[in-house]
Structure 1
Amino acid sequence: MQEEYMGYYANFDEEQRLVCQNITRIEFDTTINQLERFTQPAKKITEFGAATGRYSIYYAQKGLEVTAVELVPELVSQLEQNAAEQGVELNIHEANATDVHFIPDNSQDIVLILGPLYHIQNEDERQTVIKEAYRILKPNGIVAVAYISRFFVAGLLAKMSHALVTPQVLGELHETGLVTTKDVDPFFRTGYFATPDEVEGLVQSEGLDVEKHVATDGFGRYIGAEINALSEQEYQAWLQYHLMVCSKPSLLGSSNHGLVIARKPE
């Protein structure tokens, strides 16, 4: 399964994903906005699953000391190239988020986990990632955990193909968070799709206190063509509206991505 995952991201244009259209821009803009009050006083930040560095480079440009951890070699190479082109220094490690032994205990103000949980299908390994984040965080430090909602994915499967609307496919997704049918691409077959309650429970089980929980995309993906057609001025107006409502609990499961922000006790 990991080989299929690695192959998928080795050939996927992750570099453009967060900037190529409005419905993906809103994911980045919302995440940055929701983390702002936590990142302003921070000095050291680690990103698990840094990909090509969209977040890591952004925070390095803001003056933070950034450690970027990425598993896929092709993405690590792109990350190194992007950092060099942008003239920023990153501490880059090719490694799995389940083992960041090279980062000292109690050393980081913030840990970002904005992608790894999308593809960790084993519950023990998901817990290990949170344990590692807890270990390296300073007391009172912040972890931000992104997930993909299995409720959104159910609708996405129906939109992709009527052939995926079966008791077997939807039942498996509902019960396990997995989509193992060969009728979907590797992103889905290697994916793990969570529920909002589950992710809150995951961070709480490791001793972290939930500070915020937001619907990163809101319901924007359901009107994707309309959001993508907005002018820049209209997009900014929509973004401001979205930021006013994204923490409403009623939106959490329907959003493509969710974001849980939690704090390590002092």
Structure 2
Amino acid sequence: MDIVEHYTASREELRLSRTPHGRLEFLRTQELIRRHLPAPTTVLDVGGGTGIHAEWLAADGHTVHVIDVVPTHVQAAAQLPGVTASVGDARQLSTPDSSVDVVLLLGPLYHLVSPADRAQALAEARRILRPGGLLIAAAISRYLTLMETGSAGTLHPGLADSLSAVMASGRYDGHAGFLPTHWHTASELHDELTAAGLPDVEVYGIEGPTWTALDAAGIDSFDTLAPAALAAARLVEQDPLLINASAHFLAVATSNTGGTHRDDR
């Protein structure tokens, strides 16, 4: 199944609300983006899905356009107040050079399994950023399913090869029910953005080390446990010994020199 088929058949708009760790991911992603985002600003949300982040960004006063490869996602995002949307690919954007303040890549980097494709998406993001603009990119931790299955009691010998492969190389083979994707370490994400010509890169662990405990406690306990989980995530968000215990990372990079024209690459 390809990306369009997968997301057309799934309920992507529920991903960040149906589980405790999804809710934690949403709150922390929102918190980290707001910490860095100037206002008002123009935001291109590349791979923005149904607009779950575009919606609150527009409500905050930003000008937000969603680009996504899934037509049904684009249709849903375009219905949100203050949000526009169009079908497109992170590797070949129609957006003019040096024309936006902020580019969000909250999904493309893990769906682009080839290093060359990820580099191309990052080059496109850098091309369309104004000087001083921000690239904000998310990635999945290589240790996600190890922590998830180990905590849930579902880690069995048959998973050993798949878990070893994703931890060693980032190649996720779909063993937990998601599409085959590329999963990062925090340092790999940092290095990929730096190699794309974005020298000022900060990487944060989104959920922190307690997200599996929230899942074990269940959705009804989320409101009670979330404040402590959020506090823990903030305390170790850049701790080199714990950052990879987050399920996801968020990288924030500044474009110091402005966009690079396609013809110059």
Q: How high is the TM-score relative to the length of structure 1?
A: 0.86
Separation of aligned partners in 2, 1:23 and 1:191? 20
Separation of aligned partners in 2, 1:55 and 1:92? 13
Comparing 16-25 with 66-75, greater Cα deviation is found at 16-25
Q: Are 1:90 and 2:117 matched, yes or no?
A: no
Separation of aligned partners in 2, 1:52 and 1:172? 31
Q: Which amino acid is the alignment partner of residue 132 of structure 2?
A: N
Number of aligned residue pairs: 254
* Alignment correspondent of 2:64: 66
* Alignment correspondent of 1:199: 189
CA contact (8 A) 1:23 1:220 kept: no
Match of 2:165 among 158, 166, 172: 172
Cα 1:165–1:143, aligned 2, differ >3 Å: closer, same or farther?
Answer: same
CA contact (8 A) 2:48 2:68 kept: yes
Secondary structure at the aligned position of 2:256 is classed as coil
Match of 1:226 among 217, 234, 237: 217
Match of 2:114 among 118, 122, 138: 122
* Alignment correspondent of 2:156: 162
Separation of aligned partners in 1, 2:16 and 2:220? 16
Separation of aligned partners in 1, 2:232 and 2:168? 34
Q: CA deviation at 1:248?
A: 1.9
CA contact (8 A) 1:71 1:95 kept: yes
Deviation per residue, 1:71-130 (Å, 9 max, x gap): 11222222223x1xxxx23231101111112x1111111111111112111110000110
Separation of aligned partners in 1, 2:233 and 2:173? 33
Q: Which amino acid is the alignment partner of residue 121 of structure 2?
A: V
Comparing 240-249 with 209-218, greater Cα deviation is found at 240-249
Q: Which amino acid is the alignment partner of residue 156 of structure 2?
A: H
Q: CA deviation at 1:242?
A: 2.6
* Alignment correspondent of 2:139: 147
CA contact (8 A) 2:20 2:222 kept: no
Question: 5+ unaligned residues in a row in structure 2: which ranges?
Answer: 258-265
Cα 1:176–1:247, aligned 2, differ >3 Å: closer, same or farther?
Answer: closer
Comparing 235-244 with 193-202, greater Cα deviation is found at 235-244
Q: Are 1:13 and 2:11 matched, yes or no?
A: yes
CA contact (8 A) 1:200 1:210 kept: no
* Alignment correspondent of 2:254: 263
Secondary structure at the aligned position of 2:251 is classed as strand
Separation of aligned partners in 1, 2:216 and 2:78? 34
Cα 1:199–1:42, aligned 2, differ >3 Å: closer, same or farther?
Answer: farther
Q: Are 1:252 and 2:262 matched, yes or no?
A: no
* Alignment correspondent of 2:96: 104
Secondary structure at the aligned position of 2:104 is classed as strand
Q: CA deviation at 1:250?
A: 1.9
CA contact (8 A) 2:16 2:23 kept: yes
Q: Are 1:132 and 2:130 matched, yes or no?
A: no
CA contact (8 A) 2:209 2:242 kept: yes
Question: 5+ unaligned residues in a row in structure 1: which ranges?
Answer: none
Q: How high is the TM-score relative to the length of structure 2?
A: 0.86
Separation of aligned partners in 1, 2:107 and 2:54? 13
Higher percent of residues as helix: 1
Match of 1:48 among 46, 49, 52: 46
Q: CA deviation at 1:31?
A: 1.4
